[in-house]
Amino acid sequence: MSDGRSTRILFIGDLVGGLGRRTLLGLLPRLREQHEPTFVVVNGENVAGGLGITPKIADELFAAGVDVITLGNHTYHRREIYSYLDDNERILRPANYLASQPGHGSCIVEVGGVRLGVVNLSGNVFLRAGRPAFTEMDAVLGRLEGKTDHILVDMHAEATSEKVALGWYLDGEVTAVVGTHTHVPTADLRVLPKGTAYITDVGMTGPRGGVIGVKREQAIESLRTHMNVRFETSEEDPWLMGVLITCDPDRRHRATAIEQLLVPWDG
């Protein structure tokens, strides 16, 4: 394994709409200069108008230097992404979706001689996934065995208990387990006893002035009236939310630190 002292993984939480995309693109050069990440991984399942992702947006993120894009329950919202998911190994849908569904759930990328495996999972509690996340992760680890220096898992899940349980389940088996989907950053980031960096939810990159990305007036109306309301992405108070994971230089699949990044964007 190459010098792990310089190996850092920058993971950016759910990009929400065009504002989330612009926030990432606007702040990424500064984050690269400040933190010198080896790998950049981004969850992009809400980046196209708040729902799904398109090939054009994915290409733009890759062109900006994103190494891997992970997705989630809105993976298939836009049909034009189906063939792109099959053709591009660096954009992932949850591994525990059905094998018949477009795309794949894990990949390996290499930078400077360091091989990073990235795995995307969907929670089963309150979300629809084809197979159990825990047993699917066992199968993925079997396929990745001996092929990676570090492994990052994006657990896209609604239930905090399910994410916490997965973190403990994978402690010592992977470098990091990061939670996405609920769009609100949690305060429980830590390195677990056997060396796996963990956080229940990284948060979202986009409009903090809304309600988890939606214009707040629309969210309030929906909750107050219990009627259908057409949601639009807010454009207020953009923030980037992510974590920086420092990998152990001496042990595979281990972390030494995880740092939360909550950065406002004034662009």
The answer to whether 89 is annotated as binding is no
Question: How many alpha carbons lie under 13 Å from residue 95 in its C-beta half-sphere?
Answer: 24
Taken in order 9, 13, 14, 18, the sign of the CA dihedral is negative
Contact status, residue 75 vs residue 154, Cβ threshold 8 Å = no
The answer to whether 183 is annotated as binding is yes
The answer to whether 33 is annotated as binding is no
Question: How far, CA to CA in Å, does 111 sit from each of 126, 176, 237?
Answer: 36, 18, 34
74 is catalytic: yes
Question: How many alpha carbons lie under 13 Å from residue 26 in its C-beta half-sphere?
Answer: 17
How many Å apart are CA 108 and CA 89, to the nearest integer? 9
The answer to whether 77 is annotated as binding is no
Helix (H, G, I), strand (E, B) or coil at 85: helix
How many Å apart are CA 4 and CA 48, to the nearest integer? 35
Residue with tokens 């996405």: 180
Bridge partners, residue 240, by sequence: 263
Amino acid at the residue 141: L
Contact status, residue 242 vs residue 233, Cβ threshold 8 Å = no
Residue tagged active-site, from 74, 77, 226, 253 = 74
Bridge partners, residue 246, by sequence: 8, 257
The answer to whether 253 is annotated as binding is no
The answer to whether 45 is annotated as binding is yes
The answer to whether 228 is annotated as binding is no
Binding residues for Fe cation are 14, 45-46, 73, 156, 181, 183
Which residues have a catalytic role annotated?
Answer: 74
Give binding residues as ranges.
14, 45-46, 73, 156, 181, 183
